[in-house]
Structure 1
Amino acid sequence: MTLLAFQTMPTGFKKWLCLTNIVLLIAGCDSREDRINAAEAKERAAELLDDKGEYVQAVNLGREALTELTKLLGSDHPKTIHCRYNLSGFLQGAGKRDEAIAEGRKLLASSIRALGDDDEESLYARLQLASALRDVNDVEGNIDTKCAGEAEALYQAVIRLAGTSEIVLRARNGLGVLYGRMGKHGEAVKQITVVLEAQRLSLGNEADEVLATRLNLAAALMAEKLFEPAQKECQVVYDIRKKRLGEEHPLTIRAKDWLGNCLADQGRLEEAIPMIREVWNAKRRVLGDAHRDSLVAGFNLAVAELNAGYRDEAIRVLEETHRQALKALGPADSQTQMYQSALDKVR
């Protein structure tokens, strides 16, 4: 069966097919080699689920695969290392940031220990850990400076060790996003523009990797208050992803999220609020009420409604967002504390 054939199947049938094939593999697993093959089959199925945005299922299957491979091959075997890399990515998609960072640290340590400092797997391990670290905020909602410093060092190490390759482009792209979060918006635009021009030469305008970079550039342009080109990029990426993946895919929702927030940043709140509300509802449906992306979407909606003068509705959304964060993340999490602080200010 081809990947395209699998991707066009109904979601329920895809899950059934993945799990059925895994059960059949496991049922006949007598030898060590059979069990390794079965674990790798679980990992491949998890990747397919992740591609479709079914992150929680991908995490569960990825964990099972990693447990089996670790037991059979040890933590430093290349197959185990690759599986841990995938699991760290699945965890990020599922909004389990702290767990993603923990797995990312284990991944980097085992990659360097087993393969060497400048091996490709070790370089990708650095990128994986850096991408999780750059999303950590303090209680005020600003980027955590310690995590940002660690992420920057990881990106710079990849650029230094990799020389000239596709991995360097990924590192520069991530570094651009990080600089944007750190408030170095001009530097962010420069880094991401260089990456985008290189990607377009080899991949064209509409490859998935190019679309992700175009959204990164839009975010940096928005921070520089260059709203017209930012909105254009958001709209193009949203339209392509909607046609290619459907309205409910997490990547489509993310593009729509940026488009709504771009409108809000321009003060076009009556246009922005319905779109941001749609994003909040869609993220809750697709990712779950307590996913970190869903919580951020609720906070963005509350801010837009406050700015538009809809105070009562904004408080209602913020209370729901805080309630979900408290339940899922706990009172000590910086995201929960940020929502509590915002509530204290508006009540």
Structure 2
Amino acid sequence: MPHIDAVAAHIGPGHDNTDLLYLGDRAAIYRLHQGQLDPAITQFEEVLSDRRRVLGDNHPDTLTSRNNLADAYRAARRVAEAITLHEQVLSDRRRVLGDNHPDTLTSRNNLALSYRSAGRLTEAITLHEEELGDCRRVLGDDHPDTLTSRHNLALAYQAAGRMAEAITMYEQVLTDSRRVLGDDHPDALTSRHNLAYAYRAVGRVAEAIILHEEELADCRRVLGDDHPDTLTSRHNLALAYQAAGRAAEAITLYEQVLTDRRRVLGDNHPHTAFTETQLRAARAH
């Protein structure tokens, strides 16, 4: 990242170097996954502006930048903007790339995620189910994008209260992710985490705690203590402790996570605010 930033600063704005634009997009994705939402959005917007100028609106790289910016808006809880942009990108990718192109399938998945974030669950589930069917047909059952689609459909089922379907799908996706990607792949870790979260939601708290503790240990080993996914695992383990009546352990863990989220993500990140809210609720009880 320091090298990429130094090259960008040296070349300056207004260039037409497509390799540097690619690096800028990758750097913004890294920042997004590290929870650096404001810097990521700024960089996505800059790269998108330059790609439009250099490559045109319909170039696949420009479409990718628009998709990635919409993802960043969703992560920052700017859901209305995310939906508008995802809908536009999906329409353009269908026109430019075709319905069966992997990027078009990705756009459909990401639009469904934004619908879920906005509470438009029926639309989200319908779109996820359609997109999953096409992923299986175009990419195959074991393609990582198909596994992601199955996982995201399970998320939508869970949000809609269809817990039995969600848990069954989580369990199947976890088994297949371990087989295809390996136990330590970030997607496999995410599947374990969300399965544990679903177990807690239906009262299977002891199973949830065991799975959360195992997944947290692996997150720390694979991703590091300060990775946003590790912080999320610690937060949700605290939720499970709280559900099990282990209030003191939950409060201690919330306090630690809040300190680390403030340091890593900043005071204004949505995840920081969520931990602060849960800590207050745990103390009140």
- TM-score, structure 2 length as denominator? 0.89
**Matching residue of 1:64:** 3
**Matching residue of 1:324:** 260
Separation in 2 of the partners of 1:72 and 1:135?
A: 30
Is contact 1:159-1:168 (8 Å) kept? yes
Indicate yes or no: 2:87 matched with 1:156: yes
**Matching residue of 2:75:** 135
Separation in 2 of the partners of 1:332 and 1:232?
A: 35
Indicate yes or no: 2:200 matched with 1:264: yes
Separation in 2 of the partners of 1:343 and 1:72?
A: 46
Is contact 2:150-2:169 (8 Å) kept? yes
Indicate yes or no: 2:222 matched with 1:296: no
Separation in 2 of the partners of 1:223 and 1:148?
A: 16
Is contact 1:66-1:83 (8 Å) kept? no
Is contact 1:176-1:187 (8 Å) kept? yes
Separation in 2 of the partners of 1:105 and 1:284?
A: 32
Q: SS at 2:142's partner residue?
A: coil
Indicate yes or no: 2:46 matched with 1:106: yes
Output the aligned Cα RMSD: 2.1
Is contact 2:267-2:273 (8 Å) kept? yes
Q: SS at 1:118's partner residue?
A: coil
**Structure 2 residue corresponding to 1:183, chosen from 112, 119, 127:** 119
- Please list every run of 5 or more consecutive structure 2 residues that lacks an aligned counterpart in the other structure: none
Superimposed CA distance per residue, residues 220-278 of structure 1 (whole angstroms, 9 cap, x where no aligned partner): 01112222332222222222222333322222111111111121222211111111122
Q: Which amino acid aligns with 1:157?
A: Q
Gap change, CA 1:295 and 1:263, over 3 Å in 2: same
Alpha-carbon shift at residue 346 of structure 1 (Å): 1.8
Gap change, CA 1:119 and 1:70, over 3 Å in 2: farther
Separation in 2 of the partners of 1:266 and 1:202?
A: 35
- TM-score, structure 1 length as denominator? 0.74
Q: SS at 1:309's partner residue?
A: coil
Separation in 1 of the partners of 2:6 and 2:87?
A: 32
Separation in 2 of the partners of 1:212 and 1:225?
A: 20
Q: How does 1:106-125 map to 2 (within 5 A)?
A: 106-125=46-65
Work out which of the two has the higher radius of gyration on C-alpha atoms and give 1 or 2: 1
Identity among equivalent positions (%) equals 28
Number of equivalenced pairs: 277
- Please list every run of 5 or more consecutive structure 1 residues that lacks an aligned counterpart in the other structure: 1-59, 137-143
**Structure 2 residue corresponding to 1:338, chosen from 268, 274, 283:** 274
